[in-house]
Every structure is written in structure tokens, then in C-alpha cells.
Amino acid sequence: MNDPATLAELEQVFERYEAALLANDVVALNDFFWCDEQVLRYGITEHSHGHAALSAYRLGATPVDRRRRLLRTVITTFGCDAGAASTEFSTPTPAVIGRQTQTWIRFAQGWRIVAAHVSLIDAAHVAPPGERP
């Protein structure tokens, strides 16, 4: 778990994903996901089952607010070819905190997200970073 080289590599890929998200680079965002009918993304307003559905969603999705900031990111790798990235993020509405979880697998063409989940929660239900276990 958390082999330093594998962890550093997945951290860099996650940072590139986040940059593409903020830039609304739809082509890059679609490429970060496994191109297969088994890939899934549960979003705030939609469920995308399969790469075609995910790509169609991206074409019509409202771009992410560029003021979005990651609040706490935890990336864990398992062996050399699997990992998970979980993060909280700010939203334009301070009363709401976003949460994002991704399962990453290394394929021959590189790291790809095979499952993702994005949700929002009332900020009153989230302990400040210094008060977390």
C-alpha cells in the first residue's frame, strides 16, 4: 500500500484531472475515464453508466466553477495498479461542501477512473479539518 513511486504518479494524474476539470477540457476529462461500458459516474444530478453516457453528460454539463478549491484530498494506492482518490471541495455556496471519490486502475494506456461519485453535503455536518479524527 502507498508505494512512494506509485503514489506520486497517481497524485500527478489526479492533479492533471483537476486541472482539466477547472479548464472544462471535455476531451481530457473523457480520456481520464476507462473507455468501457462498465465505467460509471454517479454525479450530483445524474448517473452515467458506460463511457458513451458519461461522454454525453460531459457535452451538456455546466462547467465547474473555477473558484472550486480542494479542501482535503486523500489518495491511497494498492499495489502498483490500483488506487482511490477522495476529496472535499468548496462550492460557490459556503453552506455546502462537495465530496468526490474516484477509483483508479492502471491500464496499458495509463491510469483511468473506473468508478466515480460526486455529492454535496450541508457544511454544518462537516467537522472543520482540525477537529477530524
Residues with Cβ within 8 Å of 31's Cβ and at least 6 positions away in sequence, in order, are: none
Band (129; pLDDT cuts 50, 70, 90): low
Q: CA-based diameter of the chain, in Å?
A: 43
Lowest mean pLDDT among 4-8, 18-22, 90-94, 106-110: 90-94
- Rg of the chain, C-alpha, whole Å: 15
- Judge contact between 46 and 57, C-beta under 8 A: yes
Residue type at 81?
D
Residue type at 75?
I
Q: Over the chain, what is the mean pLDDT?
A: 93
- Domain ranges in the chain are 4-131
- pLDDT tens string 59-94: 999 999 999 999 999 999 999 999 999 999 998 888
Indicate whether 7 pLDDT > 90.
yes
What 3-state class would DSSP assign to 55?
helix
Band (133; pLDDT cuts 50, 70, 90): very low
- Judge contact between 13 and 87, C-beta under 8 A: no
Indicate whether 17 pLDDT > 90.
yes
Indicate whether 27 pLDDT > 60.
yes
Whether domain 4-131 has CATH 3.10.450.50: the reply is: yes
